[in-house]
Chain A
Amino acid sequence: GDKVKQSPSALSLQEGTNSALRCNFSIAATTVQWFLQNPRGSLMNLFYLVPGTKENGRLKSAFDSKESYSTLHIRDAQLEDSGTYFCAAATSSGQKLVFGQGTILKVYL
């Protein structure tokens, strides 16, 4: 099965509303990264997380290594938040990230 499972697979949000994306891990994740791929295809790193939380503007992310999940909260969604969100996990022995399949987010007026 998927080592990093993202949910939901797709999401539509009205501008100004809030939502949360989730990643569940079946590997012993030690760090997590969240990325946004914009409609042109460029991937931007949003967060690098050890267990705990981080906040950046309207985005807030949490990583619980004991319960093996991470969340990305989007507050006051804007049109420019549209794109595909990927989470990825690293293990203590790994040199490489394991990526989820992505959540496609569309924000509409």
Chain B
Amino acid sequence: GGIITQTPKFLIGQEGQKLTLKCQQNFNHDTMYWYRQDSGKGLRLIYYSITENDLQKGDLSEGYDASREKKSSFSLTVTSAQKNEMAVFLCASSRQGAASDYTFGSGTRLLVI
């Protein structure tokens, strides 16, 4: 079986700081996703990538950059952290877009002070 790993698990940043979150999968999946989840809310898509070096914007891409330099990894950058921001960032992968089942990582919990 495979695994999808997100690092770090917890991230405390300062206002205005650039912060990078990483996601690695060993399923050999083509498609990878980044979602943001605010407390008690649903999932909002930030960026996704259908293959290596591909990037597609989601509904919430403003304020974020992403990079898919290798098939197995997908990183997300918060370009300027907002004070008092608190959210969970979830990475997912699938073999072939939405036509196959998604597997999620365990999340990165962000707090900006």
Contact = CB atoms under 8 A, between A and B. Distances in A.
Interface of A: 31, 33, 35, 40-45, 48, 86, 88, 90-91, 94-97, 99-102
B58 A41 contact: no
Contacts, number: 53
A45 B85 CA distance: 28
Interface of B: 31, 33, 41-43, 45, 48, 50, 56, 58, 88, 90, 92, 97-104, 106-107, 109
A94 B50 CA distance: 11
19 contacts: A31-B98, A35-B102, A40-B106, A41-B88, A41-B106, A41-B109, A45-B103, A48-B101, A86-B42, A88-B102, A90-B98, A90-B99, A94-B97, A95-B97, A96-B33, A96-B97, A97-B102, A99-B42, A102-B42
Contacts of A94: 97-98
Given A42-B106, A102-B42, A95 B101 contact: no
A31 B96 CA distance: 13
B42 A43 contact: no
B63 to A, nearest CB: 19
Contact of B56 (A33, A35, A42, A95): A95
Contacts of A96: 33, 45, 48, 58, 97-98
Contacts of A33: 101-102
A40 to B, nearest CB: 8
